[in-house]
Structure 1
Amino acid sequence: MTDMHGLWLRLVDSGHLLLDFMGAGGMVMWALALLCVLYWTLVFERVWYMRRVFPHWADDRRRAWEYLVDQPGVWQRAVRTAWLAQAQQQLAGPLRLSKALVALCPLLGLLGTVSGMIAVFDVLALNGTGNPRGMAAGVWQATLPTMAGMVLAITGLFSLARLERIARLSLDRLADQLRHD
């Protein structure tokens, strides 16, 4: 029972530290947090789609192709091209929104920098240079969103590169399976 109580206290302390961190960065940090949750939701949806849904779709096309390839005519090439275009759209199309969200992260971080520097200038205008604590709070508010935006953008770029690679490999595999020998 004591271990559960200690775990609960550590979780509460961690929650308070996170809230303090978010509050220190200002409203921009909350916007970045929302952007982060939205981005990673889209990433996990794409991973789920590419691993669970798309293989079934591709198997259906492969089975249909085995029937179509033995039929007389030259229209099979058009069907193959259409299926590959459809697969490309299904795999890579939704990644465009994720790319836009990754591009927004450093821009929001920059917005946090500007708002933090405005806070520093406000302290300077009211108190002059005699209040280093007030200036430090503004500088802290300016650097946190910048750092958070860059961290989110870097992790986003790596995950997008991985998703694009998986999509490209899945499309290449499907194209190989739909060959006319």
Structure 2
Amino acid sequence: MFLEIFESIRDFTETGGVILLIIGGLIFVMWILILERIFYVTYGHKQFKKQTISTWQSRSDRSSWNAHQIRQAMISRVSLKLRFSLPVIQALVALCPLLGLMGTVTGMIVVFDVMAMSGGGNARSMAAGVSQATIPTMAGMVGALSGVFASTWLTRTAKTERLHLEDALEIQR
């Protein structure tokens, strides 16, 4: 069972070429970062938010200009922790289709090499190049789409949590 799955994955990666392995590694790193952010938002952020709110509420001065600056610094710290690896995730999402396009180009080079050597009439020998051109494109687009959805959710969650914190850190008048 495990051996059959491994062989299927190996055959798929051989069909897609070296670029497919690079795309797979990129998607793996991207999802590790996404899962880390989801874990932080779900568990770590709540504790840090409670600690920040209790620190603010324990202050005696919450109305002066200095207190406003401290409040903004606290909100910024929480926001930075929420958005920690989002730019990296967004960059990896943008790289996925670009690497897919690179796989398309390298696959088409294989097709043109086959056409140059055997003439244009051997469709069977060109099929390997065509699959090497289309599989990385598909993999890059699937990785980018999954990353876009996760990245959008994380960005929206970070913005929402920042607004909730701003509301929780009320200013005395």
TM-score interval, smaller chain: over 0.9
CA deviation after TM superposition for structure 1 residue 130, in Å:
2.7
Q: 2:61 aligns with which of 65, 71, 85?
A: 71
Would you say 1:33 and 2:15 are equivalent positions? no
Partner of 1:145: 136
Partner of 2:92: 101
What is the 5 A alignment of 1:56-135?
56-68=47-59, 70-71=60-61, 74=64, 75-135=66-126
**Alpha-carbon displacement from aligned partner over 1:66-115 (angstroms, at most 9, x marks no partner):** 121x3376021111111111112111132000000000000000000000
Partner of 2:156: 165
The 3-state SS of whatever aligns with 2:58 is helix
The separation in 2 between residues aligned to 1:134 and 1:73, in whole angstroms, is 76
The 3-state SS of whatever aligns with 1:180 is coil
Decide whether aligned partners of structure 1 residues 72 and 79 sit closer, same or farther in structure 2, where only a CA change above 3 A counts.
Answer: closer
What is the 5 A alignment of 1:48-63?
48-63=39-54
The separation in 2 between residues aligned to 1:44 and 1:36, in whole angstroms, is 12
The runs of at least 4 consecutive aligned structure 1 residues that moved more than 6 Å come to none
The separation in 2 between residues aligned to 1:91 and 1:55, in whole angstroms, is 11
CA deviation after TM superposition for structure 1 residue 58, in Å:
1.2
Q: Which amino acid aligns with 2:32?
A: T
Gapped regions of structure 1 (runs ≥ 5) = 1-8
TM-score under structure 2 normalisation?
0.94
**Alpha-carbon displacement from aligned partner over 1:98-152 (angstroms, at most 9, x marks no partner):** 0000000000000000000000000011000232111111011100000110111
The separation in 1 between residues aligned to 2:61 and 2:30, in whole angstroms, is 45
Q: Which amino acid aligns with 1:100?
A: A
Identity of aligned residues (%): 38
The separation in 1 between residues aligned to 2:62 and 2:124, in whole angstroms, is 82
Partner of 2:5: 14
- Number of positions where the alignment pairs a residue of Structure 1 with one of Structure 2: 171
CA RMSD of aligned residues (A): 1.3
The separation in 1 between residues aligned to 2:43 and 2:49, in whole angstroms, is 11
